[in-house]
Amino acid sequence: MDFVRRLCLIGLLITLAGCQSAYYSAMESVGTHKRDIMVDRVEGAKESQQDAQEQFKSALEQLSELIDFEGGDLQQQYEITLENYEDSQDAADDVSDRIDSIEDVSEALFDEWQDEIGQYSSKNLQRQSQAKLTETQRNYDKLMKTMRRAEKSMQPVLAALKDNMLYLKHNLNAKAVGQLQGEYASIKADVDVLIKHMNDSIMQSQTFIDQIENQ
């Protein structure tokens, strides 16, 4: 059975790789090259991180409102807080997916670029192209480092929010809610770190886009 699963997985990976290759070829046939796609995906990732920032802020504010809630429908407040947690998880997943998509197209772009450098007959142009590739890869590595750091900083917040939601699910009363006050302070500190890393990543994304467009 394990052997069959491995064969299926290999087949799936080949199919996916083929789909990506076909997609890039189709886009190039209408004048949109891998470089353009990479810039678009970096822009998309930047926007998704901005959205994630706002969503995590919203989740933190809603948790604060739940903790300070006095009177009324506690169940309703819990459900609103739970919805904010779920939206935060969705926002984090979107950020991760977009970063992965950047890595996919950049790998295809850099491989193609390196292969084409060997096709130059002019040594001078070949050297210039190699220098630009090296510079772009260096800038790209810096971008990925800041993006992955921002992505990683979302996980402690999501884990804490999930813990709180699970705890309240089976202990939804004023006493249990009050016990989360200490948890809130820790989550707020993690959100502050998240926002800082997101801002760094957003700035680095714009810097990378500018560098690519001004080459």
Answer yes or no: do 26 and 58 share one domain.
no
pLDDT in tens, 94-144: 999 999 999 999 999 999 999 999 999 999 999 999 999 999 999 999 999
Answer yes or no: do 67 and 169 share one domain.
yes
DSSP string, 59-86: HHHHHHHHHT--SS-HHHHHHHHHHHHH
pTM confidence score: 0.85
pLDDT in tens, 69-85: 877 788 999 999 999 99
Tokens 């016990």, residue located: 179
The angle formed by the CA atoms of residues 68, 58 and 70, to the nearest 5 degrees, is 15
Answer yes or no: do 137 and 177 share one domain.
yes
- 98-115 burial code (b ≥16 CB/10 A, e <16): bbebbebbbebbbeebee
Answer yes or no: do 87 and 182 share one domain.
yes
Answer yes or no: do 159 and 194 share one domain.
yes
Answer yes or no: do 140 and 205 share one domain.
yes
* Residue range(s) defining the domain that contains residue 166: 33-213
The angle formed by the CA atoms of residues 159, 194 and 213, to the nearest 5 degrees, is 130
Q: What is the CATH number of the domain that holds 126?
A: 1.20.58
Per the structure block, which two tokens stand in for 210?
């500018």
